[in-house]
Structure 1
Amino acid sequence: MRLITWNCNMAFRRKADLILSYQPDILVVPECECPDKLLFPANTPKPTDVLWFGKNNNKGLAIFSYSDYRFRVLENHNADLRMIIPIHVTNGQSDFNLFAIWANNPDDKDGQYVEQVWKAVLHYDSLISNTKTILIGDFNSNTIWDRKSRISNHSDVVRLLESKGVHSTYHLHHKQTQGGEEHPTLYLYRHRNRPYHLDYCFVSADMAEKLESVEVGDFDFWTKYSDHVPVIVTFRD
């Protein structure tokens, strides 16, 4: 199984072929236009299932299946956590819970970025465990920006997830520490000298055992299309 997250910086319909060449089974795309605007070229592979969330039709959160996986939004979806979507994923043989993330809610006075993820992990506590769990997307956070004076910073989120047996695939595979990542996923204003690691895929212990590779996109190629590069996570069957 291959999961990819890529903040496409809008206009996904014109960029889909780029990321689909990596043959994702499931693709999470922050800043994607709504399905009504997804007028793909005739030769672009069409998704087998799609979910989309957002208030701006040009810039929401999309989750695509390009395989036999199908999606169902879980009943306890908290709409106040606007861009963190709990999804039950199944293909009839295996199933898991996937939390698609674009941590970006400017209406929340407690904080619009990592605070959203913190609240989501607490709210969906019973659904996040050391089995059949994935959190993937643009977290808009990194340990380098921790606010030490309050609970809910990036390191707090990582510790809370790890206490539940859920770990970052990038950090496991590349043997990296939080805040010391060698591979940026965002280049602010597409500038090479302003790199940050903000996009993650956290998985439960059972899925981590099947982790095969974690690739992070190349600056020179991907920044022609977005300020983010993709994170490509592949698991053994």
Structure 2
Amino acid sequence: MRIITWNCNMAFRKKADFILTYKPDILIVPECEHPDKLKFNPDIPEAKDILWFGTNQNKGLGIFSYSNFRFKLLDNHNPELKMIIPIGITGGNYDFTLYAIWANNPKDPDGSYIEQVWKAVLFYDQYLNNKKTMLVGDFNSNTIWDRTHRVGNHSTVVKRLEEKEIYSSYHLFHNQIQGKEQHPTLFMYRHKDKPYHIDYCFASKDLIDKLKSVEVGEYDFS
């Protein structure tokens, strides 16, 4: 199983061929347009299942299956937590729960980014356990900004998840420390001198034990 998260910076229909060369089974795409707007070239593989969430038809959260996996929005979904989406995944060797994430809610006075993830961790507390659980996507956060986000900051989220034996796959696989990542996932304004690590895949211990590799793309705006 290969899961990829990629903030496409809008216009996914024009960029899908780039990411699909990596043959994801499940693809999580923040800033993706509504499926009605996804008019692909004929040679682009067709997704077997799609979920999409958002209020802006040009910029939402898309989740795509390019294998036998099927999606079901779980009944416990809290639409006020934008965009953290609990999805039941079936059709593979085992079922699991995926929380697809694009932490972005500018209308929340308590905070629009990591605070959304913190609220979700609290709201879904009874469902977050150490079995078949993943949280994947654009968290828009890093430990380096803990002082800015004093309540429910990045380190608090990481600690709470680790208490439930849910760990960052990147940090375990590459032996990295939160806030000192060697591999950026964002170059602000496409500037190579403004690298940040803000995208994550957290997985429960049973899934972490099956982990084979974790890769992060490199800077290329040519």
Structure 1 equivalent of residue 36 of structure 2: 36
Give the whole-Å Cα distance in 2 for the aligned partners of 1:16 and 1:193.
26
Letter in 2 for 1:51: L
Partner of 1:8: 8
TM-score in terms of structure 2 length: 0.98
Instruction: Give the corresponding residue for 1:198.
Output: 198
Report what 2:53 is aligned to.
53
Q: Write the distance in 2 (CA, Å) between the matches of 1:93 and 1:75.
A: 23
Cα distance, 1:142 vs structure 2: 0.1
Q: CA deviation at 1:149?
A: 7.9
Offset of residue 87 of structure 1: 0.3
Q: What is the SS of the residue equivalent to 1:156?
A: helix
Alignment of 1:69-108 (within 5 A): 69-91=69-91, 93-108=93-108
Which digits, 9 at most, give the CA deviation of each residue in 1:14-51, with x for residues without a partner?
Answer: 11111111010000000000000000111100100000
How far the C-alpha of 1:187 sits from its partner, in A, is: 0.3
Task: State the partner residue of 2:219.
Answer: 219
What is the distance in 1 between the residues matched to 2:121 and 2:90?
22
Residue ranges of structure 2 left out of the alignment (5+ in a row): none
Instruction: Give 3-state SS (helix, strand or coil) of 1:181's partner.
Output: coil
In the alignment, what sits opposite 2:183?
Answer: 183
Cα shift at 1:76: 1.1
Which residue of the partner structure matches residue 210 of structure 1? 210
- Alpha-carbon offset, residue 218 of structure 1: 1.1
| TM-aligned CA deviation for residue 150 of structure 1 | 3.2
Amino acid at match of 1:190: R
CA displacement at 1:129 relative to structure 2 = 1.1
Q: Please say if residues 97 and 127 of structure 1, whose CA atoms lie closer than 8 Å, have aligned partners that are also in contact.
A: no
* CA deviation after TM superposition for structure 1 residue 93, in Å: 4.3
Alpha-carbon shift at residue 171 of structure 1 (Å): 0.1
Contact 2:144-2:179 at 8 Å conserved across structures: yes
Structure 1 unaligned segments of length 5 or more: list them: 225-237
| Corresponding position of 1:230 | none
CA distance in 2, matches of 1:149, 1:33: 29
Please state whether the residue corresponding to 2:215 is helix, strand or coil. strand
In the alignment of these two chains, the number of paired residues is 222
Q: 1:99-134: per-residue Cα shift (whole Å, max 9, x none)? A: 000000001100000000000011111221111000
Distance 2:166 2:150 in 1: 22
- Residues 174-202 of structure 1 show CA distances to partners (whole Å, capped at 9, x for unaligned) of 00000000000000000010000000000
The one-letter code matched in structure 2 to 1:210 is K
| Cross-structure match for 2:126 | 126
CA contact (8 A) 2:115 2:149 kept: no
